[in-house]
Amino acid sequence: MDTVLQLDHFAVDGSQSPNGNPGVIIRVLLTISGTAPQHAARPPIGLSFVIDRSGSMGGERIEAARSAAARAVERLHPDDVVSVVAFDDLIETVAIPDRRARHQQLAAMLQQIDARGSTNLSGGWLRGREHMQHALGMIGNLPGSSRRILLLTDGHANAGITEVSTLVELARAARSLGITTTTVGIGEGYDDALLRAMADAGGGNAWYIERPDQSQDVLAEELGNLLSICAQGVVVQLSLEDAVAVVVVHSDWSTSHSAPGTAVFDLGDLYAAEPKPLLLELFVPQDRLARHALHRAAIATVQVSADVLTASGSVERRITRLPIASSLEGQRHLEPDVEFAILLARAAKARETAARHQREGKADEATLVMRTAEADLINSALAIHPQFGANLAAQAADMAALAEKYAQRTYSEMDAKYQLQRTYNQRRGKKAYDELLQRKPPE
């Protein structure tokens, strides 16, 4: 597990600071990455596909879900445990939890799932949890093993348990038992807030399939993560020195505060193909600058802890402590990597704000937010940077297209879901998936 800490800073006057006093903003980018251990055999995993078969899933949606699940199953090892649950107002076990090697007809069984009825999401998820509890006896609790519920739906929970808080707490409780939850929303009708909350509480991922042809790539990305775990239970603890304050946290991890001046971020599991970022801004007041600059003293400390998988197949507890220290020389010092991350974070915030305006019927406000964000990207000093310019240009073009939709009143709910998913991707460091989701410019 590798940790890289990058910093830059700029001075602010009282009008720009969080407490009305002059000082310095220090921007912090922590990137945690790893490599999957290359031992002979990985531990088996458990995976339960929980597939919505309600009436709205008819046609190409149910076909996409069936085909994507079948392709994902093909990548499993013979010793992995897999099950399939289909739900509408009734719950059906399509395939009991068993070794992949013994599920010879699983692809054919998936193809028999058809669309009908309402959406008893809780019932389907609970059956998947039951299957993954059973899987523990088959795969054991080995280092690097995992059991996951993969929930695919295009709707709202309108049968069974429908209270959002209850569903979220069920996912959280399952995680404490070693069963994680990943959610996949399909089309424009699903409850994105519910699915993201369940995935967050359940320690998994939240995905969005805008077009049926994206389904196989999304499930391949999810399964690829599960098969390339580098470390489990990654936690970052931020400890601030006196008078230092957090201005903003741009990343979106579950956060708790164990003591004054301390924040704990739960980053979940670390995958080889998906580094975990933590991006935040700190404020140091003017009267503290001299001491920090003179001694290059730390203004804060980050501690990264995780259970890291080793080449022998065991787990090693590792703790890395990094001081956040800078000479704070000059009024302004910008690092390109940090500036790029900040630009993407601001773009993500703009997407979230525009989506909220859209859902409130405020198209003019959404248009202005998108056009302002587009201009910020185009006018950035990194716009012509050989490493970052193309990405910023693609982001700006995407925002321009959305601004035009808002201006012309041609937007749909899918635009809001698209915006919110790209915000989620950026805050979680899902670069590969974000590139997959990004809409292609018109010919």
pLDDT digits (tens, 9 = 90+) for 260-295: 899 999 999 999 889 999 999 999 888 777 666 555
CB 35 within 8 A of CB 310: no
- The dihedrals phi and psi of 374, each to the nearest 5 degrees, come to -60, -45
pLDDT value at residue 329: 65
Average pLDDT for 140-156: 85
% of the chain residues with pLDDT over 70: 96
Range with top average pLDDT, 35-39, 163-167, 437-441: 163-167
Average pLDDT for 351-371: 97
Amino acid at 430: K
Looking at every residue in the chain, the average pLDDT score rounds to: 89
For the entire predicted model, the pTM comes to: 0.89
Cα 261 to Cα 239: distance, rounded to the nearest angstrom:
6
